[in-house]
């Protein structure tokens, strides 16, 4: 069954290319059923966050009316980039299956390894300048959140 789900992710990645998107596709599965599908829509939608995994997560969450995908698995034709991996953690997906590696993606000019490297650097060493300002003022929202008794944790 796993091969069937991975094949669907691969088919979506090819369909994405043919419809103007990048070479990435994903499905989210529970048990023996595909819950949602996603393909790369970055250039189609002019949305740099519209990766295959993200579009599948958005679709699943909307369909299921939840932000918590505990108990679900994701199949992607490629190892998730740092953004998608973060979304996978935030959505609590249990397991990820992938076909191609981040190095395979890098060979066709995708930035995954560069971003993974950047994430390990101190802020002052990153290519994009990270400048902290107004921390004391910014902490107000965190203090309010910390004191909130009816918050929904995620």
* Catalytic member of 15, 32, 37, 53: 53
Place of tokens 């992938």: 98
Let me know if 53 is a catalytic residue: yes
Helix (H, G, I), strand (E, B) or coil at 49: coil
The residues, ordered by sequence, that sit 6+ positions from 91 with a Cβ below 8 Å of its Cβ are: 57, 60, 61, 67, 68, 69
Place of tokens 């300002």: 133
Place of tokens 């088919």: 11
Strands 95-100, 73-78: pairing is: parallel
Beta carbons of 39 and 59 less than 8 angstroms apart: no
| Residues involved in catalysis | 53
């Amino acid at each position: 069954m796993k091969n069937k789900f991975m094949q669907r992710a691969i088919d979506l990645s090819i369909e994405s290319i043919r419809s103007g998107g990048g070479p990435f596709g994903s499905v989210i599965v529970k048990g023996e059923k595909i819950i949602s599908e996603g393909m790369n829509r970055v250039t189609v939608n002019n949305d740099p966050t519209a990766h295959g995994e993200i579009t599948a997560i958005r679709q699943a969450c909307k369909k299921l009316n939840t932000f918590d995908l505990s108990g679900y698995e994701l199949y992607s034709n490629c190892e998730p980039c740092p953004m998608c991996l973060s979304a996978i953690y935030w959505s609590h997906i249990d397991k990820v299956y992938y076909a191609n590696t981040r190095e395979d993606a890098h060979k066709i000019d995708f930035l995954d390894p560069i971003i993974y490297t950047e994430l390990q650097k101190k802020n002052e060493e990153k290519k994009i300048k990270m400048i902290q300002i107004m921390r004391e003022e910014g902490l107000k929202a965190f203090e309010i959140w910390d004191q909130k008794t009816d918050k929904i944790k995620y």
